[in-house]
Each structure stands twice: as structure tokens, then as C-alpha cells.
Structure 1
Amino acid sequence: MLIVVLLPSIGFTLNKAFERQIGQSIKNQLNAYMYSVLAVAEVENAQLVMPANLVENQFNVIGSGLYALISTQDKVLWSSGSFFGLHPPKLIEPAIGQHRLERIKIDNLKHIIFSFTVSFATETKSVPVTIHIIKNETDYQLQIDEFNQTLWSWIGILMLVLTVIQTVWLIWTLKPINQFGQEIQLIEQGKIAALQQAYPSELNQLAKQINTLLHTEQQQRQRYRNALADLAHSLKTPLAVLKSQPQLNQDSHEQLDNINHIIGYQLKKAQSVAANAWHLGISVDETASKLVRTLSQIYRDSHIDIDYQLIEDKQPAIFRGDSADLSEMIGNILDNACKAAKHQVLLTVIQAEQLHIIIEDDGVGLTPEQQQRIFERGVRADTYQQGHGIGLAIVSDLVNSYQGTLNVSQSEQFGGAKFSLTFHSS
């Protein structure tokens, strides 16, 4: 921006300075011509007397572009031979001892006229006359045009060179920042776990702090999960001992099962990192493909065909969250779809402006009432042999924690249930 403003300003200033210099040069030159004419002018008996030829030969050559006129009271008393055949312009006669420099047109051509008024003293009276020196402006304009062309050509070249230098310098200077941004993007996509490049001192401290944050967050998450796993394991034994007591009635067994479900549900819910974690990018395709392969093996004897299709628009399908949470959400719904399906299950992953995960089956589907209550803890559809109790409630909580949406409807393609998960891509 500075180059675009500064260099043209310098060029404009130089151009004006050169024009002023040319104007002063013209004035000095015409003033010299005027004195050369004045030196040979005489007044005898109140009459102007001029020699046949002047010392400056251009005054003697017809149409030379340099002319001299002497006038008094708007009447031309004498004109140089070079002015032969031309029509006198309107002449201005300044006060005695004063001069004026103006631009006029003679036969539609631009000229510069220098007028100076003097007074010749005779024996009887003073005779005031004005000497006019007229010069064709073409020569001066050619000088100005040539200077402007040379000036702006070099300024243009200089602007181009400086722009290239500045662009290269900016690219080289901003390269570490671009690398920094690219590595942050790779971290978000889950391709790397920390910043790895060497950065200048200005960015190095920031890179270290980000790496420390990533490492600390991952360690805290792992310790948190380990503690929850230890808690779940420690509660299993007391619950198993209580359930083995022969004196417990049916109601007590149901309450113990309910406690077991509640503990499992809360532990699963607490294990979600969701919005509290650094959202590393997870490849949806990798998780989805693994689940499809696993469930295909589990339901092989049920003759359930699990199809999987991935649709990506310009960018890979990335889930910004924890891989265990993604696996929990897709796995729960996909497993329930396999239980409800007759023969066909379809998992579709679409990466557009948002991430869409759609799971459909060809089972009997869900009634509108079941669609409303299916995500409540402990509720399951009668058409499913098992499950749909705590699993979908956990899925619903996980989706909400990632500020996503979970909808259930009827599949237009298969007629069974259709679960749709939508997440923001950034």
C-alpha cells in the first residue's frame, strides 16, 4: 500500500517541479530574446526604427516558431520577418517597466508570449512601446512529454520491482505463521498429536504452550477415565455379592439391577469428553468402517447385510471430538438397527457444510409415540429383542454435549427406522 501511494506522489511532485523549471527556463530565454530586440530598437522623430535583420537568425526565417512584435496602443508598429503571413493575436501591453508571460493561440497553434513595456525618450516626448517575443510551445511540450514518459516508466518499473520484493519478503516472513496454521489444522483433523515444526522465537513460546496444553489435557482425560473405570470395577463386586444373597426378594433384585443400570449410565455419560475437551479431528470413515466390519461378523448368522457409503464434498469427513464418543454413538445405533432389521442396514456418512451420519434399517420401524420416548433412559421398543434401554439415552446425551442433533423417523428407502445425527464441521 505504501508503494502504491508513495511512489506516484513522488512522481507527481517531480513532474510539477520539472514543469516549473521548464517554465522558468522559457521565461529566461524569452527575456533574453526581448533584450536582444530592445538593443537594436531606436526611435527617431517619434518613429520606431528597426534593422532589416536581427542577430538571432530565427527572427529572420519565415515560420521559424520564434517571432518578435513591437506594438503601442494595440497597434503593431513592427514585426520580425519570421512573422510574415501570420495574423497578429490580441496583444496585452503591461505597464511601463513590467512584463507578462502568457499562453496564446496563433492559427490554432499554442504559443507562449512574453511582453515587456519600455518608454523611449525623445526631444519632445516619451514614446511607450511594448516588445512581444512569441515562441512556439511545441518544443517545450515535447521536453515535458519526454520527461514524463521517462519518469513514469521508471516509476512503474520501480513499483513492480518493489512489489515483487515486498511480496517475496512477506511470503518468507509469514511462512512460519502459515506452517503454524497448517499444523493446528492437522491437529484438529487428528493427523498429528502436537506441533512439531521449529518456529521463530516469536512463535516458539506459543507453540510450546499449546503442546503443553494438549499433553496436559490428554493426560487428565486418561486419568479421569482410568478413575471411572476403577470406580465401575470396584462397584461390581459389592453389587454382585448383594444380588447373590438368597434372602433377597424379586423387588430387591430389580432395584439392584436398576442401580447397576444407573451406575453404568452415569459412568458412560461422565466418560464423554465432548465440549470440555480439545476437539481433535477424528476420521469418521475409519471409525465407521471398523464398526461395520465388526457388526457384520457378529450378525453374520442372522443374515443381516450392512452397507456403508461415504459421501465427501471438498473435505474429508471429520468428527471434532473423541474417537470413543463417536464409536459409542454410531455403534449403539448401528447395533440396534441390526437387531431390528430383517435383512438390510445402511450406514451413510455425508460431509458437506455439516457432518451427517444416517443409519437406516428394513425393520418394522418405530411408531410416533416410540420415536418420542425412545431416547428416555430405560425405554426400549418392543420390536427390538434387547437393548434400546440405556444405550440410546447415552447416545442422546453425547450428541447434545457436542451441540449436535439426533432425529429419528421412518426410512423412505427401507421402511424401517431412520436415525440421523448432525454435527457442525467447525
Structure 2
Amino acid sequence: MTSSKQWHHSLKTRFVVSGLLLIMVLLPAIGFTVNKAFERQIALSIENQLNAYMYSVLAVAEVDNGDINMPPHLVENQFNVIGSGLYALISDQHNKTVWSSGSFFGLNTPTLRQPLVGQSQFYRVKIDKIKHVVFSFTVSFSHQKQLIPLTLHIIKDESDYQTQADEFNHTLWVWIGILMLVLIIIQVVWLAWTLKPLRQFSHEITLVEQGKLAELSQSYPNELSILAKQLNTLLHTEKQQRNRYRNALSDLAHSLKTPLAVIKSQPQLTQDSHEQLDHINHIIGYQLKKAQSVAGNAWHLGINVDETAAKLIRTLTKIYHSSHKDIDYQQTLYQDQAAIFKGDSADLSEMMGNLLDNACKAAKHQVLLTLETTASELIISVEDDGPGLTAAQQALIFERGARADTYQQGHGIGLAIVSDLVNSYQGKLIVSDSAQLKGAKFSLIFAR
């Protein structure tokens, strides 16, 4: 399984991703909402301000003989200063400008709206490419029993308000960014504190796997202390059972060996009887070794395969030195991680030793031991340049009691031991032809 598929299996990754998503989505959403609310508040403030200007202009407006009369200077001085940014215009029912404040001198009149009498409109226009806000209000003046509708337009440059909005927007997002950074730091600290018991739990599990720790400590939060207690109970129970089995089988082996020794010492026994007694002795030793195997305890043991392989190669090289048989050793390790066998050292030595010994017996000159690890598997292969095994022999070789006479000494009980030990570790033993040495190839495959 690739790392891209494994990320969602990590609690830490899930916490980090969910926390970051919450921060990266929620805070900008809050900032956007606050910014929009501020803009609406500014717009409302502008509208109220222009509305106040409108009443101050209406208060001095008069209609005489159908013409609008305005004083030369208005109370609000900005209406009197050319280009001040605050303007007042009055248009008739045909939307023709009939009066404008002194501040509007020299500017082009934009297209202005005409609300119904008694109604107002707030909108934006551009005057000489500059954005302005407009408050238009239509009133009717009475003249000679006639109602004359006039629309008063209060126009103000929007730049002042835009500057205010930009400053607020900048300040808002600066604080949003600071808050995001603070929350991320808080999340990292909180995550480290929250996951500390899990890291300790994982570390202790690793120590138990490596045989460096007999049991888990009890210094965990309530949710984990229950699990630690249950695991410790399981470890103690399993250890007691293994000790009982080992003691019972040891007693059985000793009780059988003495009568067998007495029988074997009888002078009248034939050579065939001696061979059968030796065979029984061998079977007792094999069954005792198989039953005493700590494969059930494999999850909390870890053996470096490379070290075991080196020891076996040194031993067998000395044994077969006179036969001029060489043992080559190759490794292909996943991410340069040490090849660890989750089981008992004696079991690993038994399996590898039997396969290497058989290969040395069958080989003409060359034996190859290959150690390979993948993301999920440990693969140990032994090849030789001997005559190999036929398809029929490969099918027969692991049947209980069967014997393949390819080697001078045969596979015999040795391969049966290997097969049973491999099965006890839920592994696989595969027999095939060696593509490299053209002899037999035996592969042990275990989960990492």
C-alpha cells in the first residue's frame, strides 16, 4: 500500500487535516462576513449623511414663478468650493438640470435617476471616471395651485469612504492571518499534548515486540489504561500457557528418552531396529521443538534476519569448505530498513538452516541466499545449482511422511519442520525452479 493511500489511516494526519481545514475555511469565511457587514454599514452611514445634506439643501430651496431660487452660498461650505467632492444638483421632471452647487462647476453631468415623488434612491455613478455615490430624492413644490416635481441629487466622491473601507479590510485580514497562525500553533501544541499517551503506548508496544519490555505501564488516560491492562493480562496468560506446555513436553520427552535408551541398549536388537529407534528419537525431538515454538509469541519479538543469515553462512561455509561449495548472499531492502522477522530466533535459524543445509547437499558448487523486503512482506530465498526438483517431487515434498530423494540425505523431517514452522507464523513456503542457478529454489514469505 502506497503512502498516498495510507495518510487517512493516521489519527495524527486526520487531526491535522481536519484542524487546518477548519481554520482555513472558517476564519476566511468569518473575515469575509465581517468585511461585507462593514461595507454595508459604511453604505448605510453614507446614505444617512447624504440624506442629512439633502434636508439642509431643501431647507433653503424656494420656487418663484416656476423657477427654483437658491442662495448663492449654502450652509455646508463644501457645496461652495469647486471640486470639493460634495455636490448638489436639482433637475426638473424632464431630468434637465435646473440648478447645481458651486462645487460642481466644470464637471460633466452624469445620468441621474428620478425617483417617484416622495421616494429616494441611493446608487453609484461615475463623474469624469471617478466613482461617486448619489442620493436622489423627488419632492413637489406648489406654484399657482400646481405641483412642480423637482429631484434633488446629493453627490459625494466615494474615495474617502473607499479609503476607510480599504484600511479596515487590510487591518481585518492582517488580524485574521495572525489569528490563523496562533490557532495553528495552538493546534500543534494541543495535538502533541493529546497524542503523547498514544506515542508512549506505541513506543511501549514496540519495546514489547522487540522483547525489551515484559509488559505495558499503567500510566495512561482512562481510555488507554483499560486497553493496556487487557494487553498485560493477555501477555501474562500467554506466557503462563507457554511455560506449562514447555514443562509438560519436556517432562514427556525425558520420560520417553529413558525407556528408549534402555531398549536401544539391548544387544539382540537388529540394525533395522536401531534405525527405527533413532527415527523415533528424531521424531520426539522434532515434535518437542515444534510444540515449544514461540510462534504464538511472534508479535512481540523481532529478529534481525541479516545477523542470523551471516551466522548460518559462516557455519555452513566451514562445514562444506572441503566440498568447494560457495554460499553467496544478496539483499534488497525496502527503503533501506532492516529486515526484521517477527518471531523466535531459534525458529528462524531452524527454517533458514534447514533450507541452506539441504541446498548445500544438493548443490554442485553454488548456493544463493537472497533476502528481500517489500512494504508488506519479508522474503527469504535459497537457491542451488543442483539437479532441482521435478513437478511431481515439488507436489509431494511437503506431504507428511513423504521423502524426496533428490539430495543424498533427502529432505526428510527437515523440510517438514520448516513447513510446520512457516505455517505457525501464517507464512508461505514456495518451491520452484531457480532461474539463476537452474536448480531448486525455496522461498519463505512472511508478513512484515
Tell me the residue number matched to 1:86: 107
1:32 matched to 2:55: no
- Between the aligned partners of 2:323 and 2:113, the Cα distance in structure 1 is 115
Provide the residue aligned with 1:114 in structure 2.
135
Q: Which moved more, 1:194-203 or 1:60-69?
A: 194-203
Q: Which residue of 1 aligns with 2:423?
A: 400
- Following superposition, the deviation at residue 96 of structure 1 comes to 3.5
Residue 29 and residue 5 in structure 1: after superposition, are their counterparts in 2 closer, same or farther (change >3 A)?
same
Query: How far has the Cα of 1:151 moved from its partner?
Result: 0.8
CA contact (8 A) 1:3 1:159 kept: yes
Q: Which amino acid aligns with 1:127?
A: I
Q: Is the 8 A contact 2:356 2:382 kept in 1?
A: yes
Which residue of the partner structure matches residue 162 of structure 1?
Answer: 183
Distance in 1 (alpha carbons) for counterparts of 2:318 and 2:299: 34
Equivalent residue, structure 1, for 2:170: 149
Q: Which structure 2 residues correspond to residues 259-278 of structure 1 after superposition, within 5 A? A: 259-274=280-295, 278=299
Matched with 1:98 is 119
Segment drifting more, 21-30 vs 309-318: 309-318
Distance 1:97 1:311 in 2: 89
In 1, the alpha carbon distance for the partners of 2:117 and 2:439 equals 112
Shift, 1:392, TM fit? 0.9
Give secondary structure in 1 for the equivalent of 2:139.
Answer: strand
Measured in 1, the distance between the counterparts of 2:400 and 2:113 equals: 107
Change (3 A) 1:159 1:243: same
**Cα distance, 1:304 vs structure 2:** 4.6
Q: 1:86 is matched by which residue type in structure 2?
A: L
The 5 A counterparts of 1:20-99 are 20-74=40-94, 75-99=96-120
Residue from 383, 386, 406 that aligns with 2:409:
386
Scaled by the length of structure 2, the TM-score of the pair is: 0.83
Aligned to 1:390, the other structure's residue is in SS state helix
Query: Aligned to 1:285, what secondary structure does the other structure show?
Result: helix
Q: Is 2:34 the partner of 1:14?
A: yes
2:192 is the alignment partner of 1:171:
yes
Give the deviation of 1:165 after TM superposition. Answer: 2.0
Please say which of residues 345-354 and 128-137 is displaced more in the overlay.
345-354
Write the distance in 1 (CA, Å) between the matches of 2:436 and 2:160.
87
Residue 357 of structure 1: aligned partner: 380
Query: By how many angstroms is 1:316 displaced?
Result: 0.7
Partner of 1:90: helix, strand, or coil?
coil
Q: What residue is the counterpart of 1:374 in the other structure?
A: 397
State the 1:85 CA deviation.
3.0
| Alpha carbons of structure 1 residues 225 and 298: separation in structure 2 relative to 1, 3 Å | farther
Q: How does 1:188-337 map to 2 (within 5 A)?
A: 188=209, 190=210, 192-194=212-214, 199-202=219-222, 203-245=224-266, 259-274=280-295, 278=299, 280-300=301-321, 302=323, 304-314=325-335, 315-337=337-359
Distance, in Å, in 1 between the alignment partners of 2:196 and 2:283 is 53
After superposition, the Cα gap between the structure-2 partners of 1:408 and 1:20, relative to the gap in structure 1 and judged at 3 Å, is closer
The answer to whether the 8 A contact 1:407-1:421 is kept is yes
CA contact (8 A) 2:384 2:439 kept: yes
User: Structure 2: any 5+ residue segments left out of the alignment?
Assistant: 1-18
Instruction: Identify if the C-alpha distance between structure 1 residues 343 and 121 changes in structure 2 by more than 3 Å, giving closer, same or farther.
Output: closer
Q: Which runs of 5+ in 1 are unaligned?
A: none
Contact 1:329–1:395 (8 Å) recurs in 2: yes
The separation in 1 between residues aligned to 2:279 and 2:300, in whole angstroms, is: 34
Distance change (3 Å), C-alpha of 1:327 and 1:72: same
CA offset digits 1:330-379 (Å, max 9, x no partner): 12222223333455444332233422222234444444444443334444
Q: Cα deviation per residue 1:358-416 (whole Å; 9 max; x = unaligned)?
A: 22344444444444433344444546443522111111122233232223344455554
- Count how many residue pairs are aligned between Structure 1 and Structure 2: 424
SS of 1:77 mapped into structure 2: strand
Q: Secondary structure at the match of 1:334?
A: helix
Stretch of structure 1 that moved more, 411-420 or 227-236: 411-420
Instruction: Output the CA distance in 2 between the equivalents of 1:312 and 1:395.
Output: 23
Secondary structure of 1:278's counterpart equals helix
Structure 1 residue 329, shift from structure 2 partner: 0.7
Aligned-residue CA RMSD (Å): 3.1
Q: Shift of the alpha carbon at 1:228?
A: 1.5
The aligned amino acid for 1:168 is V
Asked if the contact 2:218–2:228 (Cα under 8 Å) also holds between the matched residues in 1, the reply is: no
Q: 1:126 to 1:89 in 2, by over 3 A?
A: same
Q: Which stretch shifts more, 137-146 or 98-107?
A: 98-107
Q: CA deviation at 1:134?
A: 1.2
